[in-house]
Amino acid sequence: MACGELRADHVGTEVVLAGWVANRRDHGVVRFVDLRDRYGLIQLVADEDAPAAGMEGLSGLHPEDVIQVHGVVRMRVEGQRNPERATGDVEVLVQRVEKLSSAVRLPFEIADHIDVPEEMRMQFRYLDLRRPALQQRMALRTRANQAIRQTLVDAGFWEIETPMLTRSTPEGARDYLVPSRVRPGSWYALPQSPQIFKQLCMVGGVDKYFQIARCMRDEDLRADRQPEFTQLDMEMSFVDEEDVYALVEQVMAAVYQEVLGTELALPLPRMPYAEAVARFASDKPDLRNPLEVVDLAGCAEALEFVVFNKVLADGGWVRGLRIPDGGRLSRKQINVIEAAAKDAGAGGAAWCKVTAEGPTGPLSRFLKVGAEETPVDCPVGIGNLSVAGADFLRCLQARPGDLVVTIADHPRRAMVALDAVRRKAGELMDLVQGPDQLLWITEFPLFEEGEEGEFHPAHHPFTCPVLEDVPALEGGQKAGIRSRAYDLVLNGTELGSGSVRIHQRALQETIFKAIGLAADVAEERFAFLLEAFRYGAPPHAGFAIGLDRLYALLFGAESIRDVIAFPKTATGSCPLTGAPSVVDESQLRELGIRQDSANPNEA
């Protein structure tokens, strides 16, 4: 019997319980202990009805001692019942106690809410895991994983494990490398994803594959990134985008039902990449935020603002947001919005408040009427405007009381800065409200343009381009080439991505050439994949969802570290085990590795 399972129906039952001492109260003639296990708390009591062994057994216990208790379930005295606890109607009259192990003084309390540094929690993660909040998340994670598995197995999918030791391939991030002892000078790579293997499953006739896979990427970390993470990986043969959308929506509906008891409205909405960027300056917009971006190129040039004109002449963006009622924000709050733009890489943000008497703030001097001009009538009741200024605010549909924020910069930097401004303004104005918003972003470009005009692959090199664009791609064009890739977004966070894959060797070689991978290098790195395509590869498509990120959002966790049993810090270290750590010189010699410094921590 578990501690958290006891109810009034068990009164009179003899039970044997084991768990951790959570709380103690010694009133001399009556002793109480709250015993905790994974399933909950039960109150133990020794009073005049308990044998001497029971009374003695509850004495001298310390928090987190592990004990085994023999006793009898009885009702609590009326007036002493605890309606906030599932076991609050009953208690266990203790007959005898066996202490299984003792606990020393703890570095922090085992409670839902504790005020200790996160690194200390991670150093003593085995204690942190005892806290009800983390145990609840681990339980939810188990249930969600089971719902995913059941949904996919019912849909005819096979769960297949792919290798953890593979070869290094260019997939967008640095590999973690593992030296081979039996083949000195050769290295394995830990998988960034099972991408190639799941495609080979399709060639192998496994037309429906899935895996809850561990993936490793040696990249700069953030709050929502870990060097090792878990993703749901799926692949299907003889399908197109519509089949993938339908399957992923089934999976998400099952997870929402299991975790939140919420029924998702399907199908989920879709938005082309170009529309998302135009309206929200983001390929992962949070649709709970009503603010939208406005392209000001057509009305900015007439303001004779040198910054706007220079950016436009260089092919950049001048875009802005109207923040309704944003005029009530303080200068300090507006500084926070400006800082968000700068932190995102922009040089700054030009803004103004809109009043009936005219605009105020740094941008206002380019909008107001000049000394020798006559103010124009503005249909929305804004005074003191020049013709160009009135046109500019009309483009933004500005009204008295609004705040206008603009960004002028290279398109890539401007896009990131506008997204940051939109998020920060939505937060400050308390605009981000309502139920979860799931959204498909579709029709991604195959290449992204860098700040120097260079093009980089927007996805992994196995993403299929839109077939109508292949002749242009073969002719060397990169701008405007479309891909058959798609992302799933939840509340402004990318949950996962996928694509229709390339299944023909000639097209795969064209893509390798387009991304600058020499033919001999492509052959050397991907010979097994290119060879497989010669033996009848079916059309196939897939998707992967970052489960840590999904669960952090669904469980209301502050970061993905709170939904992972043993996470790493933001620097990729493990305070619990001390990893990464120095290894013995003898181990390195056996692997044929020589360090540049005797102390690898010296740099």
pLDDT tens readout for residues 444-497: 999 888 777 777 888 888 999 999 999 998 888 888 899 999 999 999 999 999
With 80 as the cut, is the pLDDT of residue 521 above it? yes
* Annotated domain spans of the chain: 3-101, 134-271+439-564, 289-433
pLDDT of residue 504: 94
> Is the pTM of the predicted complex or chain greater than 0.85?
yes
Cα dist from 493 to 37, 223, 483, 553, 589, whole Å: 35, 12, 21, 9, 45
User: What is the three-class DSSP state of 482?
Assistant: strand
For residues 309 and 558, give the distance between their C-alpha atoms in angstroms, rounded to a whole number: 42
The pLDDT confidence band at residue 376, using thresholds 50, 70 and 90, is confident
Q: Provide CATH code, domain 3-101.
A: 2.40.50.140
Question: What CA dihedral angle connects 248, 211, 492 and 469, to 10 degrees?
Answer: -70
The pLDDT confidence band at residue 171, using thresholds 50, 70 and 90, is low
Span 134-271+439-564 CATH architecture = 2-Layer Sandwich (3.30)
Q: What is the sign, positive or negative, of the torsion defined by CA atoms of 110, 116, 118, 124? A: negative
Question: Looking only at Cα atoms, what is the longest distance across the chain?
Answer: 101
**Within 10 Å of residue 82's Cβ, how many Cβ atoms?**
13
pLDDT of residue 603: 41
With 90 as the cut, is the pLDDT of residue 570 above it? no
Contacts of 479 (CB under 8 A, 6+ apart): 447, 449, 455
Report for 245-254, 550-559, 568-577: range of highest mean pLDDT: 245-254
With 70 as the cut, is the pLDDT of residue 369 above it? yes
Give domain 289-433's CATH superfamily.
GAD-like domain (3.30.1360.30)
Encode pLDDT of 377-435 as tens digits: 676 788 889 989 999 999 999 999 999 999 999 999 999 999 999 999 999 999 999 99
Percent of all residues in the chain with a pLDDT value above 70, rounded to a whole number: 97
pLDDT of residue 72: 98
Residue 69: which H helix or E strand, with range?
strand 66-75
